[in-house]
Structure 1
Amino acid sequence: MEYQRRRRWFSSAWLLILEVLALRLAQAAHHTHVGQFTAVGTIHSLLEINAVSIMDDVELGSYSYAQQKISVKIPWIVELFEVDYITQRRHLLVEHEQQARWIMEFLSKNVTDPNGRNHTGQLLADCEIDNGIKINSHIHLIWDGEEYYRIEENGQWEILKPVGKKFLHILESPFVTDLRKRYMNEYCVDVMKKITGYKNLKDNVPPEVTVSRHVSPEGNIILSCIATGFYPHSILLRWEKNGKLGVWGNETSTGILPNVDNTFYLQVTLELPPEDSGMDYNCVVEHIELKTPAVYPVPEKPTIKKPWVLALGIVLAVILLLSCTGTFIAWKKRKSGSTGQLEGSFSSPASPTPLPQ
């Protein structure tokens, strides 16, 4: 039993060391570029086209079909690529509008019933570089919200819908293959390399960390460590007890989630048995903006309100709501009663005096 416990501890510690090394390497050299092209139309017309380019979770720019204009979100990118380059990209997207119109009409006839309703076609492409070397790329072709084809770095198209088999020869033709490779290198990889070699897209932001402890209704001790507002997204949160690594309870994580301001959020929770007080635990955070691992101790006292306090607040809110509702109903009744009396005085006049004969 003791051997298994030690083996489990060493295994967890070794995995943690690997995670730390991977985190630091990823923060220093790993970048991702994503492009999304969306077309909406019918068998008869093209209604809308838009394109967006996102690198390391930051939007670089977008293209609007209505204005036939590229909007650059980061001003210094115009200086980096120069106006002529961006103008050429705009002309290229305008040319693609005609191709998108043909594809929309073709697929409307051959994939779905040609009943004139709107259809949506999407092309999603992404590429990754590490230390300036391309390590991966993907392309997804989506029709009306369903993915029909997908291709990875190995260059083999995967058919995800049976109807897609009859169009596979088009995707595998030399012309489309050469076009795909050129576009992936020129517009996905090369653009990313040029940007990363010039300047950071966004200033790095350290995480804001909150650590709390409370007792669950079952008596278990719940430790929570929240990191938010950080950029880039690579981060590591781990629990230590008395400065040592280990496996003490049930650990869960939200995963790294985006915030609305292009920063990120992560919560890691540790559930301990009732016999463990939750004391002497620390949340250790590693991020590129934290030059050394930051240690955040678990507070001695619970940081979340007791259940009876929350229940009392809910009861008081319900009483207040019912009181306001009762007052409103009584007021409506009084108002309707007064109105009825007033209407009766006008609707029941004395009998008219008969005219003389």
Structure 2
Amino acid sequence: MECRRSWRWFFSAGFLIMEVFALRKTQAVHHRHELQSTTVGTIHSVLELSAITLIDDVEVASYNKGQKQITIKIPWIPKVLGENYLTQSHNSLVKHEQDFLWPIQFLAQHDINHDRNHTVQLLAECEVYNDITVKSHIHLIWNGEESYRLDEEVGHWENINPEVKQYPYILQSPLWTNLTKYYMKVYCVDLMRKIVGYSSLKENVAPEVAVSQHVSPEGSIILSCIATGFYPRSIIMHWEKNGKLGIWGNESSSGTLPNMDSTFYLKVTLELPPEDSGAGYACVVEHSELKSPAMYSVPRKPTMNKPWILVLGIILAVILLLSCAGVFIKWKMRKTVSM
């Protein structure tokens, strides 16, 4: 009974802060919902406890054991949720802080040193695409290493760290399974679908795109397409030749990365063989802020990407300049002598 109560409060306290996400309608095609919580302590007490919630990689709210308060990052959230709701959430988190101690006591039960500090991190995330759930994961991280991962589609916990393999009977128990399914559905997926659109967490921004090509030292043609400053995160970029899809070389991608201003960046490249001039290629970009797929043609003339050529050019220019200066000085001296 005590185990059941502790796990229930652990999930309640952890996912309670995720309810802050119930704020606006799903306007973009893709949305991501995430909770990150970190607990540091011994088997006797919780030393540090923090949690943050994010939607589409924008921090919405946070909680810290030292401050003992929920910090709202978006000014209009209290008006939307109501002061009573936020007060109840705050009181519940403060009251049940010690319930976050139970996972440490459970995972460290065989540790001889009872004063040793341990860290438990819980990462819960779900994603929807066109209102369809495409991802629902929970990650349990013990002392800096991921130990277990739950994929809701697979339906069972995967043991990532063999050193922490003595606890699957708890994770696979009906109690834990039902709790995880319930809370992920109610506090992650369902709230994602109920976002009501009172305001946007961040204004949507179309990508700025730049396309270039250069010749590598090996002689191959490198096409680069960079999109930056866009929001939301979801974007599709691919190469076409004369308006057609195909495979003409080696493609690579940087992956979608965050900028400092909470917008995003993506670079895709295409390496072509030396015999391919790069003519007719275009980078096609699809984003929710673009009315239709945008096509960006590759410049015709490639840039020589050979540092030694640039250095040689500079040296030759300097030699030419010095030669001209020497000729001028000699001419000036002869003219002076003749006078």
Give the direction of change, closer, same or farther, for the CA distance of 1:195–1:309 in structure 2 (3 Å limit): farther
Query: Are 1:280 and 2:263 matched, yes or no?
Result: no
The one-letter code sitting in structure 2 at the alignment partner of 1:247 is I
* C-alpha contact 1:208 1:228 (8 A) present in aligned 2: yes
* C-alpha contact 1:258 1:264 (8 A) present in aligned 2: yes
* C-alpha contact 2:216 2:304 (8 A) present in aligned 1: no
Partner of 2:271: 271
Aligned residue for 1:213, secondary structure, equals strand
TM-score (norm 2): 0.75
Identity %: 60
> Following TM superposition, by how much is the alpha carbon of 1:172 offset from its aligned partner in structure 2, in angstroms?
4.3
> What does 1:207-222 align with in structure 2 at a 5 Å threshold?
207-222=207-222
| Greater alpha carbon shift after TM alignment, 132-141 vs 115-124 | 132-141
* C-alpha contact 1:286 1:294 (8 A) present in aligned 2: yes
Report the Cα distance in structure 2 between the residues aligned to 1:57 and 1:298, rounded to whole angstroms.
32
What does the per-residue CA deviation read over 1:187-246, in whole Å, with 9 as the maximum and x for residues that have no partner?
A: 223332332554443221111111111111122121111111111122222223333333
The one-letter code sitting in structure 1 at the alignment partner of 2:126 is C
> Following TM superposition, by how much is the alpha carbon of 1:165 offset from its aligned partner in structure 2, in angstroms?
5.0
Query: Are 1:191 and 2:224 matched, yes or no?
Result: no
Give the direction of change, closer, same or farther, for the CA distance of 1:51–1:189 in structure 2 (3 Å limit): same
> Following TM superposition, by how much is the alpha carbon of 1:306 offset from its aligned partner in structure 2, in angstroms?
4.5
Greater share of helix: 1
Give the direction of change, closer, same or farther, for the CA distance of 1:300–1:134 in structure 2 (3 Å limit): closer
Partner of 2:127: 128
* C-alpha contact 2:42 2:117 (8 A) present in aligned 1: yes
| Greater alpha carbon shift after TM alignment, 128-137 vs 219-228 | 128-137
> What does 1:328-343 align with in structure 2 at a 5 Å threshold?
none
TM-score (norm 1): 0.71
Report the Cα distance in structure 2 between the residues aligned to 1:133 and 1:223, rounded to whole angstroms.
35
* C-alpha contact 2:240 2:246 (8 A) present in aligned 1: yes
Report the Cα distance in structure 2 between the residues aligned to 1:181 and 1:244, rounded to whole angstroms.
44
Aligned residue for 1:195, secondary structure, equals coil
Gaps of 5+ in 2: 1-25, 316-339
> Following TM superposition, by how much is the alpha carbon of 1:120 offset from its aligned partner in structure 2, in angstroms?
0.6
| Greater alpha carbon shift after TM alignment, 160-169 vs 140-149 | 160-169
Report the Cα distance in structure 1 between the residues aligned to 2:269 and 2:123, rounded to whole angstroms.
34
Report the Cα distance in structure 2 between the residues aligned to 1:310 and 1:86, rounded to whole angstroms.
62
Larger RCO (alpha carbons 8 Å, 6+ apart) = 2
Give the direction of change, closer, same or farther, for the CA distance of 1:81–1:133 in structure 2 (3 Å limit): farther
The one-letter code sitting in structure 1 at the alignment partner of 2:236 is L
* C-alpha contact 1:43 1:114 (8 A) present in aligned 2: no
Report the Cα distance in structure 2 between the residues aligned to 1:133 and 1:197, rounded to whole angstroms.
18
Aligned residue for 1:139, secondary structure, equals strand
> Following TM superposition, by how much is the alpha carbon of 1:286 offset from its aligned partner in structure 2, in angstroms?
1.6
* C-alpha contact 1:27 1:232 (8 A) present in aligned 2: no
> Following TM superposition, by how much is the alpha carbon of 1:182 offset from its aligned partner in structure 2, in angstroms?
3.5
Partner of 2:94: 94
Partner of 2:326: none
Query: Are 1:79 and 2:79 matched, yes or no?
Result: yes
Partner of 1:256: 256
> Following TM superposition, by how much is the alpha carbon of 1:54 offset from its aligned partner in structure 2, in angstroms?
1.3
Query: Are 1:114 and 2:113 matched, yes or no?
Result: yes
